[in-house]
Amino acid sequence: MGWTDERVELLKKLWQDGLSASQIAKQLGGVTRNAVIGKVHRLGLSGRAAPSKPQRTVFKAPRPARVATAAPSAPRRIAEPVAAQPAPSPVRYVDEAPGMATVLTLGAHMCKWPIGDPALDSFTFCGRRSEETGPYCHEHAQVAYQPAQAKKKSSAAELARSLRRYI
């Protein structure tokens, strides 16, 4: 739908009344909010009687705190002493046999070497005391961290034999 003279005059009036572009678009019908904004810009309508603002909820000021007054004859309650709760038991390392630690009992300095199939209920971890530098006990660290193998120096005969593959 085009901009007729009547629609432009209605747009000017509604804009001066302080309606938003969305509200004007609804009243005019057949135009979008962006079309209204573009037309207002092209017409140079900048001043408004009252800028439209969304309705905001009015928050009440908080009430002052009430002072609790106790009856003068009311006795004061003395808090009963809280019974001392036993301290949690320290983490026990399994030194006898590996495979006694579960995910729930695994501590910070316990060997985290998995034992068994994780899909089974019998899955455990080693649980022995781990070394300071890693997550595994001494025995499992030797398995996990293998030293790099020294490279053999190849002789001329071995070099010739390996090059024959490419010739």
Q: What is the pLDDT of residue 23?
A: 93
Are 129 and 137 spatial neighbours (Cβ–Cβ below 8 Å)?
yes
The structure's pTM equals 0.34
Long-range contacts of 131-134 (CB under 8 A, 24+ apart): none
Average pLDDT, the chain: 77
- Give the pLDDT of the chain (167 residues) as one tens digit per residue: 688 999 999 999 998 888 889 999 999 888 999 999 999 999 888 766 555 566 677 677 777 777 766 555 666 666 666 555 555 444 444 444 666 788 888 888 888 888 888 888 888 888 888 877 788 888 888 888 887 776 666 678 888 887 887 77
The answer to whether 116 and 124 have CB atoms below 8 angstroms apart is: yes
CB contact at 8 A, 163 and 155: no
Q: Which helix (H) or strand (E) holds 12?
A: helix 5-16
